[in-house]
Structures are given as structure tokens and as C-alpha cells.
């Protein structure tokens, strides 16, 4: 997180974060939320997730779940949308089941306000922005992302705006 923060702002943004194992009951509860409406209905899931994390309070502002590809959450995400090859994200929850730094950062950046720079509905895997190695492209691997700068200006501005709002 500190490395990513150093790229996003000068001086590096101070973002409160905690690394901990997700309690097993949380994973089961999240899976139940998804299974209540097994179609990809982001607004429905986000509303349910927001309420769930509000109740848990310490995870409210954004949770990144890193799990194995054979976990129940990963299998469910891949079943709902086979294009979720590495993970998926909502404003309060990001899930990744690929432990490559850039892919984890891609999902984490969604929690910080970044948008995807691709549109699979148009057959576009990106990046479709002004940054040829943007980390918000579909396949955010080391081979495709490389060195900084790897985030387009609109997403840098979105993330910096989100961080400034949190500081208030």
C-alpha cells in the first residue's frame, strides 16, 4: 500500500489500512449476499454489501479480499462472469484471486475511486485511455503495466480526490 501511495501523490498519501485475515463468517456472509441474487446485479450487491460492512464498522470504508482461485468467492465470481479472471470490485469490496502485485493494485484502486480503462461489452480490453500501460486495463499484469507512470490522469485525479475527501 505504501508503494502504491507513493506513486499516487507527492508526498505519499497517508491512507489508514489494516491487513488481517477475513473472518470465515464474513466470507460466508458475503457469499450469501451474492447468492441471494445470483445474476450480476452490481447495484443490488453493493447496497447489501454497504449495509453489511456498515454493521461491521471496522471494514466499512473498503475491504480488499485476496483469496485463492479455488475459494468459494472466486468460484462464484467466475461463475457469474467468466471475464472476472483475476477479480472484481465494488465501491466497498474488492476481491482478487490472483496474487500479482499489479492485479491486486488494480482491484485496490477501485476502492480508491479509479475506473476501468476497458469496455468488454465493446470487445475492448484497453487501455482505452491516454496511458498505454495503464494499470486499469483488463489484464493488469507486470508485462502489460511495467513501470510508473502506470495510471492515467483521469484516474489519478479521481483517486486523489477520494483521498482528499477522506482527509476531511
CA distances from 122 to 2, 114, 127, 137, 162 (A): 35, 20, 13, 14, 28
Q: What is the pTM of this model?
A: 0.79
The reported pLDDT for the residue numbered 155 is 92
Give the domain extent around 12: 2-167
| Residue 43 pLDDT > 80 | no
pLDDT of residue 159: 87
- Please give the pLDDT value at position 164: 79
Q: If residue 27 lies in a helix (H) or strand (E), which one and from where to where? A: helix 24-36
- What would the mean pLDDT of 80-99 be, rounded to a whole number? 85
Encode pLDDT of 19-40 as tens digits.
666 777 778 888 888 777 766 5
pLDDT 10s digits, 143-152: 999 988 899 9
- Predicted local distance difference test score (pLDDT) of residue 34: 79
The CATH number of the domain holding residue 139 is 3.40.390
Quote the cell numbers at residue 134: 495503464
Give CA–CA dist 75/167, Å, rounded: 36
- Using pLDDT thresholds of 50, 70 and 90, give the confidence band for residue 162: confident
Domain count, the chain: 1
Q: What is the pLDDT of residues 123-138, one digit of tens each?
A: 888 899 999 999 999 9
Cross-sheet strand order for the sheet of 93-96: 63-66, 93-96, 87-89
52-89 per-position pLDDT tens digit: 777 765 555 677 888 888 888 888 888 888 888 999 88
What does the angle CA 136 – CA 141 – CA 143 come to, to the nearest 5 degrees? 120
Amino acid at each position: 500500500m505504501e508503494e502504491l501511495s507513493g506513486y499516487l501523490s507527492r508526498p505519499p498519501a497517508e491512507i489508514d489500512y489494516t491487513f488481517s485475515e477475513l473472518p470465515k463468517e464474513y466470507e460466508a456472509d458475503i457469499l450469501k449476499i451474492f447468492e441471494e441474487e445470483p445474476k450480476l446485479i452490481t447495484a443490488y450487491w453493493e447496497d447489501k454489501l454497504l449495509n453489511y460492512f456498515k454493521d461491521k464498522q471496522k471494514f466499512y470504508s473498503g475491504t480488499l479480499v485476496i483469496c485463492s482461485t479455488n475459494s468459494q468467492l472466486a468460484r462464484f465470481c467466475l461463475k457469474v462472469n467468466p471475464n472476472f479472471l483475476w477479480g472484481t470490485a465494488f465501491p466497498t469490496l474488492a476481491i482478487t484471486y490472483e496474487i500479482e502485485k499489479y492485479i491486486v493494485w488494480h482491484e485496490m484502486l477501485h476502492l480508491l475511486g479509479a475506473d476501468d480503462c476497458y469496455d468488454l461489452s465493446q470487445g475492448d480490453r484497453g487501455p482505452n485511455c491516454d496511458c498505454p500501460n495503464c494499470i486499469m486495463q483488463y489484464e493488469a499484469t507486470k508485462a502489460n503495466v511495467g513501470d510508473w507512470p502506470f495510471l492515467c490522469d483521469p484516474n489519478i485525479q479521481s483517486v486523489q480526490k477520494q483521498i482528499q475527501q477522506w482527509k476531511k
